């Protein structure tokens, strides 16, 4: 599916950056990938054309999309630059298209790394299919530029590459991570959410707004709430987030054990309802084992929620140093102690939330679009260099 996005174009084909045409290839057009492209295109001064496939069968997308998008080469070749996602096997795509590009060569292109299959969490390491990690590596090598959504993601991916290559039977090339690092940059996502009015009073309301999957460590979150409940501390729980077919069993157990403390349970029906429910929380907790960016905690902060997140992963880079001591915890015992303190004084969590809303303001799309447009204009400039 191809679709045009962006400001209306004049018939004049002048060279103003506002008239640059960006082709966006997304084989997995759903969830956060879809939101990212739609928000980017809606706010950019550039013109976008989307080339997408439905968000299903992710392994087939990584294996088959390179062939699928050969049908769009004429339109892709007319773009000033291409932005592709980590779901595209870029090296394969370029190899298949090498003799068919209008003008003889592809536009300059960047791959945006939302996630990667070298370090994406699996329950057991023997479940990891290294072929997909290899696709990510080859795509990064084939791209003109590689854009990561956090410094943590970039550093983790580059650190994992040498150990991954040592698994190869023989003649694994050395130094690939240095070649990728040399053309990499970090572009934090833009986040857009409409915060509701803040009028909270009463007992502490604690929120969960992450995917219902094992890598978000729901056991750690609910264990803390069970202990808070056992201590007799007053609180309410709002449990949001996307649920999948095989959700961890702890969710069903927690729904029963928390009983009347549950103020809301389940996926919000709309973006507006999600913002309203999130904004009703005093505090959002992350217990994640892994996080490439941290979209859910940024959304919570922009809605005026206080935050308790682990002092690792991508979280430290998202927070100013002055708030890290309050918002980041060391371990499970530290998390529980802070929850008990906030349950005694909910106003402290609300005060932290007000300061986080201001601290996360630079991550709104109204601010981030400047960096993305500048990066895309620079990328397009490679065409004539």
Tens-digit pLDDT profile for residues 19-50: 899 999 999 999 999 999 999 999 999 999 99
In a domain, 305, yes or no: yes
Residues 175 and 219 placed together within one structural domain of the fold: no
The answer to the question of residue 82 being in a domain is yes
Lowest mean pLDDT among 138-147, 195-204, 205-214, 264-273: 195-204
Average pLDDT (315-321) is: 96
Of the candidates 329, 344, 359, 360, which has an alpha carbon nearest to the alpha carbon of residue 221? 329
CATH of the domain at 310: 3.40.50.2000
Helix residue spans in 183-241 (DSSP H): 218-230
Same structural domain, 44 and 79: yes
Q: Tell me how far apart the alpha carbons of residues 170 and 155 are, in angstroms, rounded to a whole number.
A: 25
Beta strands 2-5 and 21-29: pairing type?
A: unpaired
- Residue 11 pLDDT greater than 50, yes or no: no
Mean pLDDT of the residues in the chain:
93
Q: In Å, what is the CA distance from 294 to each residue of 111, 159, 199, 286?
A: 20, 20, 26, 9
Whether the predicted pLDDT of 16 surpasses 70: no
Looking at residue 383, its pLDDT comes to: 81
CA angle 285/287/292 to nearest 5° reads 105
Residue 214, domain member (yes or no): yes
Whole-number pLDDT of residue 196: 85
> Are residues 157 and 297 part of one domain?
no
Whether 255 has a pLDDT exceeding 70, the answer reads yes
Q: Residue 361 — very low, low, confident or very high, per pLDDT cuts 50/70/90?
A: very high
Within-domain flag for 198 = no
Domain annotation covers residue 71: yes
pLDDT tens digits along 158-172: 999 999 988 888 888
Task: Give the CA distances from residue 314 to residues 76, 286, 349, 382, in Å, rounded to whole numbers and listed in that order.
Answer: 34, 12, 22, 31
**pLDDT confidence band for 2 (50 / 70 / 90):** low
Kindly state whether residues 225 and 153 are assigned to the same domain. Answer: no
Q: Which domain holds residue 293?
A: 204-363
Taking the CA atoms of 164, 309, 111 and 33 in sequence, report the sign of the dihedral they define: positive
86-125 confidence digits (pLDDT tens): 999 999 999 999 989 988 899 999 999 999 999 998 887 7
Tokens of 351: 């005060």
Does 231 reside within a domain? yes
Q: How far apart are CA 294 and CA 315, in angstroms?
A: 7
Element (H, E) at 111: strand 109-113
- Co-location of 13 and 130 in the same domain: yes
Say if strands 184-186 and 204-208 run parallel, antiparallel, or are unpaired.
Answer: unpaired
Per-residue pLDDT, 1: 61
The pLDDT assigned to 19 comes to 82
> Do 328 and 213 sit in the same domain of this protein?
yes
Which residue is listed with tokens 């309410």?
236
CB 369 within 8 A of CB 40: yes
Residue 103, pLDDT score: 85
- Cβ atoms of 176 and 257 within 8 Å: the answer is no
159: how many CB neighbours lie within 10 A of its CB? 12
Burial class of residue 184 (count of CB atoms within 10 Å of its CB; 0-12, 13-18, 19+): buried
Q: 217 and 166 in one domain?
A: no
pTM (two decimals): 0.92
Tokens of 311: 């002092």
Angle at 93 (CA atoms; ends 133, 108), nearest 5 degrees? 100
Q: Categorize the per-residue pLDDT at 14 as very low, low, confident or very high, splitting at 50, 70 and 90.
A: very low
Same domain, 128 and 19: yes
Decide if 196 is inside a domain: no
Q: Are residues 150 and 284 in the same domain?
A: no
| Together in a domain, 210 and 330 | yes
Question: Is residue 185 included in any domain, yes or no?
Answer: yes
When divided into structural domains, the chain yields a total of 2
For residues 350 and 371, membership in a common domain is answered with no
Average confidence (pLDDT) over 61-68: 96
Asked whether residue 209 falls in the same domain as residue 253, the answer is yes
Q: Tokens 């702890």 — which residue? A: 250
């Amino acid at each position: 599916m191809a679709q045009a996005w962006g400001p209306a174009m004049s018939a004049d084909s002048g060279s103003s950056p506002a008239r640059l045409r960006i082709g966006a290839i997304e084989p997995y057009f759903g969830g956060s990938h879809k939101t990212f492209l739609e928000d980017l295109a809606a706010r950019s001064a550039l013109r976008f054309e989307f080339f997408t496939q439905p968000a299903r069968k992710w392994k087939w997308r990584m294996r088959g999309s390179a062939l699928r998008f050969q049908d769009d080469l004429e339109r892709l070749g007319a773009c000033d630059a291409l932005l592709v996602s980590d779901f595209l096997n870029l090296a394969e795509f370029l190899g298949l298209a090498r003799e068919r590009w209008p003008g003889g060569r592809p536009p300059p292109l960047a791959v945006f790394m939302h996630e990667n299959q070298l370090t994406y969490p699996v329950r057991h390491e023997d479940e990891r299919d290294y072929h997909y990690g290899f696709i990510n590596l080859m795509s990064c090598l084939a791209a003109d530029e590689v854009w990561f959504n956090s410094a943590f993601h970039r550093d983790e991916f580059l650190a994992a590459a040498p150990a991954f290559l040592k698994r190869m039977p023989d003649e694994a090339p050395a130094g690939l991570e240095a070649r990728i690092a040399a053309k990499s940059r970090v572009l934090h996502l833009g986040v857009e959410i409409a915060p509701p009015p803040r009028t909270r009073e009463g007992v502490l309301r604690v929120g969960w707004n992450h995917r219902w999957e094992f890598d978000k460590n729901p056991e750690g979150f609910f264990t803390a709430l069970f202990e808070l409940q056992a201590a007799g501390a007053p609180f309410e729980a709002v449990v949001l987030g996307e649920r999948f077919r095989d959700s961890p069993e702890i969710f069903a157990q927690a729904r029963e054990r928390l009983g009347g403390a549950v103020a809301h349970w389940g996926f919000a029906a709309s973006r507006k309802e999600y913002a309203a429910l999130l904004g009703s929380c005093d505090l959002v907790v992350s217990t994640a084992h892994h996080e490439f960016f941290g979209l859910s905690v940024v959304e919570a902060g922009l809605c005026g929620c206080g935050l308790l997140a682990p002092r690792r992963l991508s979280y430290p880079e998202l927070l100013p140093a002055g708030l890290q001591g309050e918002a980041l915890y060391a371990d499970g015992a530290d998390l529980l102690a802070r929850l008990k303190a906030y349950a005694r004084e909910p106003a402290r969590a609300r005060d932290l939330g007000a300061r986080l809303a201001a601290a996360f303001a630079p991550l709104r799309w109204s601010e981030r679009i400047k960096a993305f447009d500048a990066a895309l204009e620079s990328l397009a400039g490679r065409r004539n260099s």
